[in-house]
């Protein structure tokens, strides 16, 4: 069986051996034949075109020439020596130059034997030269079955030093294909192969490494990308269906007094159509015994918290307790303050549990939770401590869930006999392709409109040279009774970055805005929690007009009177972070402003980020640009990028392939959820192989 052969350690492949096998595993994770065959080229060089020496131009392009070496000489230079060979074709002459390994190269060069050389040419002192060219005898080149498009494999500095670069991979992959006798087994159903006109796996793997033409390469890439996406989607969609059909939770059959009273008598504004649509989706989920596992996406200020609170009221109307878990104390306090006022009007009991809660507060909370008199518990990861025991937790909201580990979320499941229904909320807009890949196992709801009357934040980019004008504008805003944030990327001066830092900024702002006319708060990550809370509270109370801070205020501060956000060294921040910071203003009825301050030295990516911020307030549009700039792994961070360790597919460039793969995964699993039909047996076997090493936490959102 080929599958068994692919499990063979790469050390046994001719041309590898123990030392090289160790390096391959350490540097690029290649342990077996399967790892090697799935180590795909990152680009291809067209080796069908040949240049004449007379037609060469001074450019950075790589060229390929056929000719002969007529002379070889060793020349001394300031440091060491260099090897120079005269290379000719019928149209002219050029030089080949080597600075390393020149003794071995000199001993192996053949005079007047046709070579194919490949590399970048340089023009110096009236002559073309090529440094360290790739070389092959013309006779060998013609025999080679990869003559059309030359694959280029990524390598590392350590591998290159040991001569294990792209040519080495090319050579051992030829050896591997020579050893693999039987064809690759087809795992996809015949109807999909026919509908999508997919090439066979054997042809796909061969042509991805040794493409016979551009057309063969395109077919191979499509097949392997589609299949990679398909098995990820099969796993995610199956998890979703498993949730709906196998995992049971609490069914909330009635919409009762708490919900109706809040909606009809207390809610201080009209819900947007997007909020109503999402509430309808949640109500539908909660009316079934199937476990709810829903992701609620909504831009900053779109009204996710109120939707979450109304969902909690449905649970309370049905006699169940609820909780809301946030990643930071600031955010937990913010949520608590937002809904505590409504709870008081409704007669709903609510408590806050964080690391700062006193022993007495904790004791009261534990007691009220156990006897069922506490309806809502808001808090940080303190909620999942073993001491925290609910009477009947039926509904849980997890805010910004990517900041919690799976093991932490799993603890919530163990609070009851049945897992609580779960609503995951995020203010980080996630592009659709990324959501399909990362959260494809969750049902997704989106609040894609802001409340009526909310004005878009005006965003401008200003250089450091305009600082005095910016200060003047801040003074005008303060004179109108507004408050201002000034955010810095660093706390202390760094040798690595020539950026304004927080302390230096605080001093310059203090000089420009002197006491007693102006009062300034300062907040940063290393402050004691009680000092941070006190400074925050002064700003909340309006006792200070300016808040100088690091990104600790990125999430969870709601001050409607703050109308200006100044972001210093804005080029240092990612798009998502800039958008989150901007979301701290624009929460009141007045026009708000975001000022992005930078130096004149800006990279192309930084220019794109700043331009995007000044052109749009749409978080989803910003997230799409961010995804293109940073890639999925960087965008989601290490905790969330596990699913996206893609070998060949790309969620940005291959969006249509991803959508197709998800469509077919849904179609198959709806008809045959356990893959029991005869035509799905090979598919099932591969699916089991791919998923057998997953943790038991696999089904926790």
Give the tens place of pLDDT for each residue, 350-367.
999 988 888 899 999 999
pLDDT score of 495 more than 70: no
pLDDT score of 589 more than 80: no
**Closest listed residue to residue 188, CA positions, set 179, 174, 198, 178:** 198
Query: Across the beta sheet with 546-549, what order do the strands follow?
Result: 458-463, 593-598, 562-567, 483-487, 546-549, 520-523
Per-residue model confidence as pLDDT tens digits over 654-698: 888 988 999 999 999 989 988 889 889 888 888 888 776 554 334
Pinpoint the alpha helices (H) of 521-618. 529-540, 575-582, 604-615
Share of the chain above pLDDT 90, in %: 35
pLDDT at residue 213, rounded to an integer: 84
pLDDT at residue 401, rounded to an integer: 61
Q: How far apart are CA 225 and CA 208, in angstroms?
A: 11
Helix (H, G, I), strand (E, B) or coil at 650: coil
Mean pLDDT of the 483-499 span: 66
Q: How far apart are CA 444 and CA 116, in angstroms?
A: 56
Distances (CA, A) of 578 to 211, 369, 473, 643, 681: 44, 39, 21, 26, 49
Q: How far apart are CA 327 and CA 426, in angstroms?
A: 11
Domains present along the chain, CATH in parentheses: 1-44+153-182 (1.10.150), 49-147 (2.40.50.140), 257-447 (3.40.50.300), 458-616 (3.40.50.300)
pLDDT score of 557 more than 70: no
Contacting residues for 657 by C-beta, under 8 A, at least 6 apart: 222, 225, 226, 229, 649
- Residue 277: asked if its preceding bond is cis (omega within 30°), the reply is no
Neighbours of 146 (CB within 10 A): 18
Per-residue model confidence as pLDDT tens digits over 315-374: 999 999 999 998 888 788 888 988 999 999 999 999 999 888 888 999 999 999 999 999
pLDDT score of 440 more than 70: no
| Cβ atoms of residues 490 and 497 within 8 Å | yes
**Closest listed residue to residue 326, CA positions, set 368, 282, 382, 375:** 382
pLDDT at residue 537, rounded to an integer: 83
Q: Kindly indicate the confidence band of residue 383, based on its pLDDT and cuts at 50, 70 and 90.
A: confident
Q: Which region holds residue 128: left if phi is over 0, alpha if psi is between -120 and 50, else beta?
A: beta
pLDDT score of 558 more than 50: yes
Q: Kindly indicate the confidence band of residue 430, based on its pLDDT and cuts at 50, 70 and 90.
A: confident
pLDDT at residue 397, rounded to an integer: 92
Mean pLDDT of the 589-617 span: 90
Question: Would you give the distance in Å from CA 111 to the centre of its chain?
Answer: 54
Residue 237 backbone dihedrals phi, psi, to 5 degrees: -65, -40
Q: How far apart are CA 117 and CA 89, in angstroms?
A: 11
Lowest-pLDDT range of 223-227, 237-241, 457-461: 237-241
Neighbours of 625 (CB within 10 A): 18
pLDDT at residue 218, rounded to an integer: 92
Residue 604, both tokens: 């192309």
pTM: 0.65
Q: How far apart are CA 233 and CA 216, in angstroms?
A: 26
Percentages helix, strand, coil for the chain (3-state, rounded to 5) are: 45, 20, 35
Cα angle: 292, vertex 436, 312; to 5 degrees: 25
Q: Kindly indicate the confidence band of residue 24, based on its pLDDT and cuts at 50, 70 and 90.
A: very high
pLDDT at residue 407, rounded to an integer: 58
Pinpoint the alpha helices (H) of 246-328. 257-261, 273-286, 304-317
Burial 270-298 (b: 16+ CB within 10 A, else e): ebbebbeebbebbeebbeeebbbbbbbbb
Q: How far apart are CA 570 and CA 606, in angstroms?
A: 9
pLDDT at residue 262, rounded to an integer: 93
pLDDT score of 652 more than 80: no
Q: Kindly indicate the confidence band of residue 60, based on its pLDDT and cuts at 50, 70 and 90.
A: low
Contacting residues for 628 by C-beta, under 8 A, at least 6 apart: 652
**Closest listed residue to residue 50, CA positions, set 117, 143, 102:** 117
| Cβ atoms of residues 675 and 687 within 8 Å | yes
Q: Which region holds residue 419: left if phi is over 0, alpha if psi is between -120 and 50, else beta?
A: beta
Per-residue model confidence as pLDDT tens digits over 266-305: 988 889 999 999 999 999 999 988 888 888 988 777 888 8
pLDDT at residue 639, rounded to an integer: 39
pLDDT at residue 410, rounded to an integer: 64
pLDDT at residue 381, rounded to an integer: 83
Share of the chain above pLDDT 70, in %: 88
Mean pLDDT rounded to a whole number for the chain:
84
pLDDT score of 529 more than 80: no
């Amino acid at each position: 069986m080929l599958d068994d052969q692919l499990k063979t350690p790469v050390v046994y492949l001719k041309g590898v051996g123990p030392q090289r096998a160790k390096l391959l595993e350490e540097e690029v994770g290649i342990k077996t034949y399967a790892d090697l065959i799935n180590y795909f080229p990152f680009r291809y060089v067209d080796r069908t075109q040949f240049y004449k020496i007379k037609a060469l131009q001074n450019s950075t392009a790589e060229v390929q020439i056929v000719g002969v070496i007529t002379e070889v000489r060793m020349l001394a230079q300031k440091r060491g020596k260099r090897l120079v060979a005269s290379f000719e074709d019928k149209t002219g002459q050029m030089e080949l130059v080597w600075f390393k390994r020149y003794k071995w190269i000199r001993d192996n060069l053949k005079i007047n034997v046709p070579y194919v050389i490949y590399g970048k040419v340089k023009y110096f002192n009236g002559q073309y030269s090529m440094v360290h060219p790739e070389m092959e005898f013309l006779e060998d080149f013609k025999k080679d079955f990869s003559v059309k498009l030359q694959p280029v494999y990524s390598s590392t500095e350590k591998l290159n030093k040991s001569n294990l670069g792209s040519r080495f991979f090319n050579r051992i992959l030829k050896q591997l294909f020579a050893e693999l006798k039987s064809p690759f087994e087809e795992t996809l159903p015949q109807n999909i192969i026919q509908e999508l006109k997919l090439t066979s796996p054997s042809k796909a793997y061969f042509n991805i490494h040794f493409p016979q033409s551009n057309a063969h390469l395109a077919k191979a890439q499509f097949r392997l990308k589609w299949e990679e996406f398909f098995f990820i989607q099969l796993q995610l969609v199956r998890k979703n269906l498993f949730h709906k059909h196998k995992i049971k939770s609490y069914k909330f059959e009635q919409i009762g007094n708490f919900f109706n009273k809040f909606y009809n008598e207390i809610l201080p504004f009209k819900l947007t159509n997007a909020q109503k649509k999402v509430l309808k989706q949640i109500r539908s989920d909660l009316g079934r015994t199937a476990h709810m596992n829903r992701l609620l996406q909504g831009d900053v200020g779109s009204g996710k918290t109120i939707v979450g609170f109304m969902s909690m009221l449905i649970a309370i109307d049905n006699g169940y307790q609820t909780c809301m878990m946030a990643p930071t104390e600031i955010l937990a306090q913010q949520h608590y303050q937002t809904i505590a006022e409504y709870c008081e009007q409704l007669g709903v009991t609510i408590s806050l549990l964080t690391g700062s809660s006193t022993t007495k507060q904790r004791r009261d909370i534990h007691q009220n939770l156990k006897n069922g008199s506490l309806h809502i518990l808001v808090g940080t990861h303190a909620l999942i401590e073993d001491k925290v025991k609910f009477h009947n937790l039926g509904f849980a909201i997890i805010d910004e869930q990517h900041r919690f580990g799976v093991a932490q979320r799993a603890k919530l499941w163990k609070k009851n006999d049945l897992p609580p229904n779960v609503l995951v909320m995020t203010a980080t807009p996630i592009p659709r392709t990324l959501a399909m890949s990362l959260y494809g196992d969750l049902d997704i709801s989106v609040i894609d409109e802001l409340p009526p009357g909310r004005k878009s934040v005006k965003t401008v980019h200003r250089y450091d040279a305009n600082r005095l004008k910016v200060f003047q504008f801040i003074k005008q805003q303060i004179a109108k009774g507004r408050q201002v944030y000034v955010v810095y990327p660093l706390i202390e001066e760094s040798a690595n970055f020539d950026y304004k830092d927080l302390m230096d900024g605080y001093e310059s702002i203090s000089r420009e805005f002197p006491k007693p006319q102006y009062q300034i708060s300062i907040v940063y990550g290393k402050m004691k929690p009680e000092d941070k809370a006190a400074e925050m509270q002064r700003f909340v109370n309006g006792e200070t007009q300016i808040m100088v801070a690091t990104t600790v205020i990125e999430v969870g501060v709601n001050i409607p009177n703050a109308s200006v956000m100044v972001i210093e060294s804005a080029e240092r921040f990612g798009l998502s972070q800039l958008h989150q910071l901007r979301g701290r203003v624009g929460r009141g009825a007045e026009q708000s402003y975001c000022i992005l301050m930078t130096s004149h030295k800006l990279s192309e990516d930084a220019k794109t980020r700043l331009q995007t911020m000044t052109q749009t307030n749409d978080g989803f549009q910003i997230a799409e640009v961010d995804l293109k700039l940073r890639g999925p792994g960087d965008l989601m961070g290490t905790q969330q990028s596990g699913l996206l360790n893609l070998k060949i597919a790309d969620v940005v460039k291959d969006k249509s392939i991803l959508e197709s793969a998800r469509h077919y995964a849904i179609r198959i699993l709806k008809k045959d959820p356990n893959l029991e039909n005869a035509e799905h047996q090979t598919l099932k076997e591969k699916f089991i192989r791919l998923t057998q090493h997953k943790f038991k936490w696999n089904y926790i959102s």
